[in-house]
Chain A
Amino acid sequence: MTPKLDKQEMRNYLLGSLEAERRAALEESILCDPGIYEELVVVEEELIDEYITNNLSPSERQQFETHFLITAERQKKLRFGRLLRRYLDSQPVFVSPDDIPAPVVRQDKIDAPATKFFSFATGSFARGATLTVSSAVVVILVILTLVCWRANRKPDTVQENSPNPIPYTLTPASLRSEDAGTQRVKAPPKGVNVRLNLEVTNTNFRNYRAGLFREKNFVQTADELKAEPNGEQRVVPWTIAGEVLSPGDYQIKLSGVAESGPDAFVDNYSFRVTKK
């Protein structure tokens, strides 16, 4: 007889924390019930995604690293999960109008589009499902939105007379080891800027373009950033007004501006802004 097993029990099983009796019942079901097996492998992938996006609790995270990742097969799955996340993060961001932060869209000037499309998301970014007639309309609306926003974005501008910006070096997703923790940036005091040094391995571009997102919501963009040496590394520095960085999870998408043709996606940089 198949015992009733919920998703939480499957998570506990995969993390090695399910009590022995329930574990035996689940394992028997894995062999005899195709539905249970399929559910288990789906939960396994979801766990991997939650680990990658830092959505596991500290204890689950520890169990994931010490128990779940013990086999080479699961390590391969984690590696693939990271790769897929990197690809998805390079794609246009679909958000509902409710998710668009107030400074970005001026509702009195333009009707909110159903979908927001990051302005430099062209070329390889725009492949696939977004190539529809409706997305073209959305692009036009968003360009208009950004034009309106850029003209009114005083709160996000860098403080010219602020003290020296506080530097932080961010490692891109493609170079981060699997056991590396979250990169952290302290929320700066009022009026102080932050200089984010984005490590790059591809320095073939004359200019770079960066977009800052807070939990998938677009915050701001910068053009004409340039790579420069920073010790033995090459970095693309981006100075951001401290006021922009309230505590939360952020992501920067960096692209290289090609001599001709569309921009080329370079990498993602994830970090968490913590309280002062």
Chain B
Amino acid sequence: MPDDSSPAVLDPATRDDWYVVSHASEIQPGVVERTRLLGRDLLVTRAADGTLKAECFDPDGAPVPVERIAERYGFIWVSLGAPRDEILRIPEFAEGGRRLIWRGRIGVAASGQRVIENFFDLSHFSFVHTGTLGGLDAAEVPRYEVEYREEGKELWAVGCSFFQPKASASAAGGASVRYDYRVPSPFICVLYKDSLVRPGMKDLIGLFIQPCEEERCVVHSFALVFDDHRSDTDILHFYHEIFMQDRMILIQQRPLRIPVHPQRERHVVSDASAVAFRRWIARRGFRFGVDDAAA
């Protein structure tokens, strides 16, 4: 069972980050969305003129003003602190041609960073997504590169590739697919994947994680893809199928928080991105949802 106790004081790195707490369409004027963020109660409302407002309450019940709330990419973003950076830029949202599919929310009883780590992990494809994202007879993870970009504020795993029997809802057969993963925050990952129907172009799939508690999160996500044939529901259900296979693994992983101490791990080459992710989280001072014990 997840540990729902939350820290009385948040580490500055976590506090000052931006988090998605809802899809914009879910907060109509007059709706009061009651949710949890970083172990705190959060109320999100929208006035008749469309203005958004959020109120947060500390674990002891004291109200905390929320000054940062914004609508971007169809989602509602909140920061409980004073973010030094803007919400991440995803220029592809302004380009034409792709379909935007809101994939709903899925709850996971594990830390949000565990979900992100699973999202960019390639070696589980053949065993967890057998027949779609991987096959038992082609499980090898080819080498890829890990890079820090934007002065170390973003982690990228680039040049990833994998042979996939059915890489997306629109895939007709198997293909070796190229991936780049962008991790601009421990709770956000955007995947850039070769479009199967538009050569040279990329499909985007993004996870925006709402860390409710240290060991419980809600995954908000989108797909921004080239696909002229499949219905939104077909595409959506393909993703739900894939994500629910991951969820089964995530809720059974221990520890539920992300372990960052080097003595806790025994990695192989294909884990390069996970190793970098854990070091990066520890180095930047994120503590929420982190397990930093040595043993």
Q: Do these two chains interact?
A: no
